[in-house]
Amino acid sequence: MESIIERIKQGKFWHFHGGIHPPQQKAITAENPIKQLSLPKQLILPLQQHIGRQGDLLVVVGDKVLKGQALTQSSNPMAVPVHAPTSGTISAIKKSVIAHPSGLSELCLFIDVDGEDTWRKREICQDFTKLSQQQIINKIADAGIAGMGGAGFPTHIKVNTKPNINFLIINAAECEPYITADDLLMCEQSTAIVDGIKILDQILTPAFILIGIEDNKPRAIKALQQATKHIEKIKVCVLPTKYPTGGEKQLIKILTGKEINSGTLPVSSGIVVQNVATCFAISDAVINDIPLIRRVVTLTGRALSKPQNVWALLGTPVSYLLEQTGFTNEISEKKSIAGSPQPSPPVIMGGPLMGFSILNEQVPVVKTSNCILAPSKAEMPSAFDNNSNEVDCIRCGQCSDVCPSQLLPQELQWSAKAKDHQQLNQLNLFDCIDCGACAYVCPSQIPLVQYYRIAKAEIRQQQQLDIKAEKAKARFEARKFRLGQEKIAREEKHKKAAAARKATMNEKSADGGTASSAVAAALARVKAKKAAQKIKNSNEPLASSNEVTDEKSQVKAAIARAKAKRLAKEKGTESPVANNKEQTKTPAVTNNKTQSNVVDDKKARIAAAVAKAKAKKASEKQSPVVENNVSSEQEQVTASENTTTEAKDKKARIAAAVAKAKAKLKVMDKAQQAPTTNNEKST
Amino acid sequence: MNILIAILVLGLIAALFGALLGYASIRFHVEGDPIVEQLDALLPQTQCGQCGYPGCKPYAEAVANGEAINKCAPGGEDTIKKIADLLGVDVQPIDENHEADDSSQSNRPKVAFIIEEDCIGCTKCIQACPVDAILGAAKQMHTILIDECTGCDLCVAPCPVDCIEMRPTPETIQNWQWDLNKIAVKQID
């Protein structure tokens, strides 16, 4: 640590591996001051302008917004808000092409500028040293500041770290050709930048603050040295010009000699790196309460007649900026021809090495856009030529000589072409910083870095798919398990239901008297009746004495009925209708009537009445029994009965009464739909 | 005598190694068939049943038992290649019967989409979904959980009102793939 500081004080620095020295091309814009542009008519603000997540909208179409008003908010720490860069009306919220190499559309806010540029209420902070750490971090978060160097990592997360920060490194290297935005910002706003650095110093309390700046910016170096000369802690480190000095890990290596482990953040080594433009934005936000609504953009390239750095409001369409700087291209008219997805003169957002062609000039400036490059054909012929001039790799090894991450670009290229993701991971593809140095030096003009970008995207995609497959598998297994459980539960239920059914059946038949047991009861009755008849046939008195009283009466009733029938038959001449009825219907029916309730009540009643009448007559007449027109079945039944009943008319009468009563009972039974009486009789 | 000693010594050694092997087979016993797990990991887990098996795991088991390796339509050639590598067999062209439908121009993965105004809430699709990615109740409108849908197609056929269709997932910044043809190679001189 001490030795590092000693070495830095002596102006000795380390080196990173590789690197290239492309033509600077910075002189095109470095001499002109930053120009204030008039307000454009419309601003297009993508909701997401940085790594992380987009916030939730706070405005709707038609809302009047003031300059600096927050338009989104989010409780997610990885989201930073977007602010209105000027006053106006929200005219639309819809998908629009954004600054991304894909040329895809994302949700954007369209603001119709009213031209008045009215500020919201601002609270200007006179003395930021009185603010607490958390207050400053909140202000940075509310101002929507995201790293302005490249990736756009939310700044409030980067600075909200635990203590033990050894080095705060301010990245002022600006190593990519053409770009002079930070250079001019340092020249013109060095005091504000130093204020921003002081604010960061207050939050992070680092042991030492290093400003890394390349030696191709003499004016900026002078301005910074002037602004920091009374501050012991800050050291302006003038570094030799080499691309990519401005890479985070490369800058750390040059200044401190430390290497950041693959896959870890510099914070873990006690180092925080902030871009110089971010420092300016922080001072603006904390001191002047100006959220991040503007930035310096370098408009450069030989296709512009007035290349210049400008203060561009976020959301300004690139076409407006190009108009302002005199975008004169001999083929610019061609772009109006419909059907061409890419405008003929290429416009590159970002630098020539790490930037990307924009497919639509309506693309707005966002928090990370530092340069718009419109090259002429002579300047960058390859940008005009969509056909790749790629030839086979000759294994010269120049790419690995220049790789700042000490990877093996040539090996990576082959694996990327073969889509061998495992091998790519082994070759540490994800340590590649996309600097493009390998593609720059390649004599075969292989667009190496594009292959890596594709491979990285594919691997990320594959990882997502793997996660999704894993999830699908888990859900499938869970579903299978659930269905299995349900099936078991169902079977269990069925079993239980069956058992319950059985139980209730047994229970009810024990009670005697439900429909389910009727059949069994009927069978029992039939058996009982047969037994009774048998006994009666052999010796009646014994049987009657042995039988239960119920059964006795039953038997008696049957006998009475049979007798009555016979008498009725005798009296055939007196009541032929009744007789006929009896003869045709009763043989089986009357016997069964009392026991198995098959016959309807009407019949039973008639039969009883007839029986009664007959019994009366019989007793009066005392006539002998003559068997006439009797069926064989009836004969069997009645034959045995003759002995007991014929002589005693009294008995017969009683029996008839009983029969009648029984018939009545039957009627009642029928009405109640309850065969209980029968059951009782049988048992 | 020498011969007896030799037989004795060799017999002892054989017994020793036999015991050692027997012990090892118990001590290092592997439950289940590891090849099935490896095969299952290679399959896309769409659980679509297009191979004729009720899910990816059953197909993995079948492949381990000698089923053809070219029946996974969602996995396509890549999966066949990987399975062939794992099993040390020849790569086979994908089975015609199990070929994915390539008629659509878009090669983006598809997910099911319920046209909600047509849905009658019959729950038939819910029963068909192998990953429980459809939300709904009887006589209530159903909807697809896009993040959980594997695009297996199984819910399309049971729908009595044909209100389910397969739609390609929207292309976003997050899932966009660099297309080399789109990018002009930028090189400064």
Its CATH class, for the domain covering A1-31+123-289, is: alpha beta
Of chain A, the percentage scoring pLDDT greater than 70 comes to 77
DSSP conformation letters of A341-366: SS-SS--EES-TTT-EE-S-TTPBP-
Within 8 A of B144 by CB-CB distance, chain A residues are none
Helix, strand or coil for residue A310? strand
The pLDDT score that the predictor gives to residue B186 is 43
CATH architecture assignment, domain B34-98:
Orthogonal Bundle (1.10)
Phi, psi of A202 (to 5 degrees): -65, -35
The residue with tokens 């966009």 is B176
pLDDT score recorded for residue A588: 45
- B46 neighbourhood in chain A, CB within 8 Å: 469, 472
**CATH number for region B104-170:** 3.30.70.20
Beta bridge partners of B110: B168
- What does each C-alpha distance from A322 to A103, A163, A374 come to in angstroms? 19, 45, 9
pLDDT of residue A457: 87
User: DSSP class of residue A35?
Assistant: E
B188 with A453: Cβ contact below 8 A = no
CATH code 3.40.50.11540 region(s) in chain A: 1-31+123-289
Tell if the CB–CB gap between A386 and B45 is shorter than 8 Å.
no
- How does residue A265 score in pLDDT terms, banded at 50, 70 and 90? confident
d(C-alpha A217, C-alpha A240), whole Å = 11
Residues B74-80 have a mean pLDDT of 84
Q: Which residue of B has its CA nearest to A176?
A: B188
Q: What Å distances lie between residue B51 and A570, B66, B164, CA to CA?
A: 89, 14, 22
For the residues A473-501, what does the mean pLDDT come to? 93
Q: What pLDDT does residue A101 have?
A: 78
* pLDDT number for residue A44: 92
Name the 3-class secondary structure at A304.
strand
Q: What's the pLDDT score for residue A107? A: 87
pLDDT at position A547 is: 47
For residue B183, name the pLDDT band (cuts at 50, 70, 90). Answer: very low
Is residue A545 helix, strand or coil? Answer: helix
Kindly report the number of other CB atoms within 10 A of residue A425's CB atom.
12
Tell me: the pLDDT tens digits for A15-63? 999 999 999 889 888 888 999 988 999 999 988 776 667 778 889 999 9
Cross-chain CB nearest to A461 (options B130, B177, B185): B177
- Closest chain B residue to A449, measured at CA: B185
- Between strands A42-46 and A348-349, the pairing is unpaired
Mark yes or no for CB contact A458/B187 under 8 Å.
Answer: no
Say how far apart CA B98 and CA B72 lie, in whole Å.
7
A487 touches B: beta carbon within 8 Å: no
Task: Kindly state the helix (H) or strand (E) to which residue A106 belongs, with its residue range.
Answer: strand A105-113
Q: Residues A599-614: what's their mean pLDDT?
A: 69
The pLDDT of residue A676: 42
Which among B148, B172, B177 has the least Cβ separation from residue A457? B177
Whole-angstrom Cα distance, residue A334 to residue A642? 130
Strand order in the sheet with A64-65: A42-46, A105-113, A88-97, A64-65
Residue A337 has pLDDT above 50, yes or no: no
Of B178, B185, B189, the CB nearest to A453: B178
What is the distance in angstroms between the Cα of B173 and the nearest Cα belonging to chain A?
7
Size of interface A-B (CB pairs under 8 A): 114
Q: How confident is the model at residue A513 (pLDDT cuts 50, 70, 90)?
A: low
Residue scoring higher pLDDT (B100 or A192): A192
Model pLDDT, residue A509: 57
d(CA A155, CA A149): 11
Whether the ipTM is more than 0.85: the answer is no
- A226 in contact with B, Cβ within 8 Å: no
pLDDT digits (tens, 9 = 90+) for A181-238: 999 999 999 999 999 999 999 998 898 899 999 999 999 999 999 999 888 889 999 9
Domain boundaries along the sequence of chain B? 1-28, 34-98, 104-170
Tell if the CB–CB gap between A381 and B189 is shorter than 8 Å.
yes
Position B1 confidence tier, pLDDT thresholds 50, 70, 90: confident
Scanning the structure block, which residue is given the tokens 């078991």? Answer: A488
* Of the listed ranges A271-280, A290-299, A508-517, B122-131, the one predicted with least confidence: A508-517
Strands (E) located in chain B: 110-114, 134-135, 143-144, 164-168
Q: What pLDDT, on a 0 to 100 scale, did the predictor assign at position A669?
A: 61
> Do the Cβ atoms of A284 and A142 come closer than 8 Å?
no
Question: Is the peptide bond prior to A675 cis by the omega test (within 30 degrees of 0)?
Answer: no
pLDDT range class, residue A106, cuts 50, 70, 90? confident
Identify the contact set of chain B against chain A, taking CB-CB distances under 8 A: 40, 44-47, 55-57, 130-133, 147-148, 150, 171-173, 175-180, 182-189
What is the per-residue pLDDT across A234-263, written as a single tens digit (0 to 9) for each? 999 999 999 999 999 999 999 999 899 888
CA–CA min distance A235, chain B (Å): 34
Taking Cα atoms as reference points, which of A242, A244, A455, A432 lies closest to residue A353? A244
Q: Is A578 on the interface with B (CB under 8 A)?
A: no
A103 φψ region: left (φ > 0), alpha (ψ -120 to 50), beta (else): left
pLDDT per residue as tens digits for the range A555-578: 777 777 777 777 777 665 454 444
Mark A334-373 as b/e (b = at least 16 C-beta within 10 Å): ebeeeeeebbebbbbbbbbbbbbbbbbbbbbbbbbbbbbb
